[in-house]
């Protein structure tokens, strides 16, 4: 089973700041997917197939990576971006999630 | 419009069997490539994938829980089901179902399940 490790676990960012969240896989994966979750709500697909933005996601978000290292980047942090972000991969026959990165507004 | 909604018992006792239902609309589990997955989240913690079922009745389980999980579907009624046997307090969580392919693109609102004596 592939284990996903996210870093940092928690972080704060000021409005306008650039934010990068990293997800490392214990073995190579083809794609990484990302979800955003706010308190009391279900996770929302945010970035899929490593770099494609889900419907409605602002273009200040981007995703990149390959092999065992992937990242989600926010250019110009906004208040509404404060949330927990999870990475997720599929590698037959298992789906796994990272532990999450809680992003707070400074 | 794709929607999913989970339902469950709310509370149950240790050693009992947890039965969850996912009722969905806007897609069919008889359509090629469609799948439904179950994911859970203990309060304040991260997401854990549990199981998937596909249009062709193929099934996949989280290896760490495989012996306790059974996933099934009722295509004609647009429902998917998950059973977890011999529950423990560690199974207390919000349980989500989600439509899926390689990733989970539509999620239900979740149902809270508490295991307590």
SS (H, E, C) A40-55: CCCCEEEEECCCEECC
pLDDT at residue A93 greater than cutoff 90: no
Q: Kindly provide the b/e burial profile for residues A11-22, where b requires at least 16 CB atoms within 10 angstroms of the residue's own CB.
A: eebeeeeebebb
Site from A21, A42, A49 to mutate, B interface, most B CB atoms within 10 angstroms? A42
| A42 at interface of B, judged by CB pairs closer than 8 A | yes
pLDDT at residue A6 greater than cutoff 90: yes
Burial of B31 (0-12, 13-18, 19+ CB in 10 A): exposed
| A93 at interface of B, judged by CB pairs closer than 8 A | yes
pLDDT at residue B106 greater than cutoff 90: yes
pLDDT in tens, A28-51: 999 999 999 999 999 999 999 999
pLDDT in tens, A57-86: 999 999 999 999 999 999 999 999 999 999
Strands B11-12 and B111-115: parallel
- Across the interface, which of A42, A48, A54 has its CB nearest the CB of B96? A42
Average pLDDT over residues A77-99: 95
Token pair for A74? 């926010």
pLDDT at residue B101 greater than cutoff 90: no
pLDDT at residue A92 greater than cutoff 90: no
Average pLDDT over residues B55-62: 96
Average pLDDT over residues B66-83: 96
Q: What does the pLDDT read at residue A1?
A: 87
| A99 at interface of B, judged by CB pairs closer than 8 A | yes
Token pair for B70? 């059974």
Average pLDDT over residues A13-17: 97
Other Cβ atoms less than 10 A from the Cβ of A70: the count is: 27
Q: How many CB pairs under 8 A join A and B?
A: 53
Taking the CA of residue B99 and the nearest CA in chain A, the distance in Å comes to 11
pLDDT at residue A14 greater than cutoff 90: yes
Q: What does the pLDDT read at residue A48?
A: 97
Token pair for B115? 């295991």
Confidence grade of residue A91 (pLDDT, cut at 50, 70, 90): confident
Residues of A in contact with B107 (CB under 8 A): 42-44
pLDDT at residue B66 greater than cutoff 90: no
Taking the CA of residue A52 and the nearest CA in chain B, the distance in Å comes to 12
Q: What does the pLDDT read at residue A13?
A: 98
Average pLDDT over residues A22-27: 97
pLDDT at residue B102 greater than cutoff 90: no
Q: Do A43 and B107 touch (CB under 8 A)?
A: yes
Average pLDDT of chain B is 96
First to last CA, chain B: 40
């Amino acid at each position: 089973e592939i284990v996903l490790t996210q870093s940092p676990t928690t972080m704060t960012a000021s409005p306008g700041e650039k934010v990068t969240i990293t997800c490392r896989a214990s073995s190579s994966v083809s794609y990484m997917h990302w979800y955003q979750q706010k308190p009391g709500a279900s996770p929302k697909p945010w970035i899929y197939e490593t770099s494609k933005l889900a419907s409605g996601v602002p273009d200040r978000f981007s995703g990149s990576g390959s092999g065992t290292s992937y990242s989600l980047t926010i250019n110009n942090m906004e208040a509404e971006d404060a949330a927990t972000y999870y990475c997720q991969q599929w590698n037959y026959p298992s789906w796994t999630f990272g532990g999450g990165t809680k992003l707070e507004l400074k | 419009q794709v929607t999913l909604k989970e339902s469950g018992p709310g509370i149950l006792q240790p050693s009992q069997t947890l039965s969850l239902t996912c009722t969905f609309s806007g897609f069919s589990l008889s359509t090629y490539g469609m799948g439904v997955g179950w994911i859970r989240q203990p309060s304040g913690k991260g997401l854990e994938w549990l199981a998937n079922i596909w249009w062709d009745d193929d099934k996949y389980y989280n290896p760490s829980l495989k012996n306790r999980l059974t996933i099934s579907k009722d295509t004609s009624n647009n429902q998917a089901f998950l059973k977890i046997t011999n529950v423990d307090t560690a199974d207390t969580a919000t349980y989500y179902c989600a439509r899926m392919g390689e990733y989970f693109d539509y999620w239900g609102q979740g149902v809270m399940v508490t295991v307590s004596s």
